[in-house]
Amino acid sequence: MGLLAGVTASYSQRTADTSYMKMDTTRARPATAGAAGRQSRGANGPVAVSKPKATKDSLIKNIRAVFQRINSDSTLREVSLDPETMEEIIGGAPDNGADVTGYFKNDSLRKIVMSFGPSYGMKDWEYYYDRGQVVFVYEKDQHFPVMKDGGLDHERLVVGFEGRFYFNKGRLIEKIIKRYDRFMAEEVDDSYIKDLLDDVDGYAQALRRQMKKK
């Protein structure tokens, strides 16, 4: 299933503008003094004063405030999926285990943390929710370094990839990608972003069901 389809794969299967949104250009007659934020009156009656649309920078600033608020909230209720449910969703058990935990404010899902351990290392995701929608995803891919003899050093992990993805109303508005090596070679394209959102749905639904049982 999308990005998680490879978590049970063997090592041999691995391949190694910050521009603003368009503003509303609708012209309105100047408002009279003291009328800011209200309708101004033209020769033919009231003329609506348009509010400027949020810029990408302001949206990102708001999203950062959301996930900072979530991470600082010690009252969130923690719910974890059992191994059987995770294996059913994944379609198998990763070599190095898996963990999926949701954090709820009352009945509202605010955050999901997922960790999967394929044979080559560890993959982690953090999903942050606002008003029921994903607004931010942090992804980290770690792998066991290759030794001189061609084997893997299972005693340590090195970070090969980090991704930060910002969403507004289900649409990607910014991505920040850091590649520390070429171990993770997948292209972060539209299909990748779609999988990033689609893959979490099954876990979110399972966590909500688990929450209702408690």
DSSP the chain: -GGGGGTT--GGG-----PPPPPP----PPPPTT-TTS-EEETTEEE--PPPPPPHHHHHHHHHHHHHHHHT-TTPEEEE--HHHHHHHHTS--TT-EEEEEEEETTEEEEEEEEE--TTEEEEEEEEEETTEEEEEEEEEEEPPBPTTS-B-TT--EEEEEEEEEEETTEEEEEEEEESSSSS----SHHHHHHHHHHHHHHHHHHHHHHHH-
- Mean pLDDT score, 188-195: 93
Residue 68 has pLDDT above 50, yes or no: yes
Radius of gyration over every alpha carbon of the chain, rounded to an integer in angstroms? 22
- pLDDT tens column, 26-63: 334 344 444 444 444 555 556 555 566 789 999 999 99
Please indicate whether residue 185 or residue 41 has the higher confidence score (pLDDT): 185
- Mean pLDDT score, 119-135: 94
Residue 163 has pLDDT above 60, yes or no: yes
Written as six digits, the tokens of 175 are 């991505």
Using pLDDT thresholds of 50, 70 and 90, give the confidence band for residue 21.
Answer: very low
- CB contact burial 38-74 (16+ within 10 A = b; e otherwise): eeeeeeeeebebeeeebebeebbeebeebbeebeeee
CB 180 within 8 A of CB 157: no
Instruction: Determine the pLDDT at residue 200.
Output: 94
Instruction: Determine the pLDDT at residue 35.
Output: 40
Instruction: Determine the pLDDT at residue 194.
Output: 95
Residue 16 has pLDDT above 60, yes or no: no
Instruction: Determine the pLDDT at residue 196.
Output: 94
Instruction: Determine the pLDDT at residue 120.
Output: 87
- pLDDT tens column, 72-114: 999 999 999 988 888 788 777 777 778 999 999 999 999 999 9
Instruction: Determine the pLDDT at residue 161.
Output: 93
Using pLDDT thresholds of 50, 70 and 90, give the confidence band for residue 13.
Answer: very low
Residue 170 has pLDDT above 70, yes or no: yes
CB 161 within 8 A of CB 141: yes
Residue 121 has pLDDT above 60, yes or no: yes
Instruction: Determine the pLDDT at residue 52.
Output: 66
Instruction: Determine the pLDDT at residue 44.
Output: 57
Per cent of the chain over pLDDT 90 is 51
Instruction: Determine the pLDDT at residue 50.
Output: 56
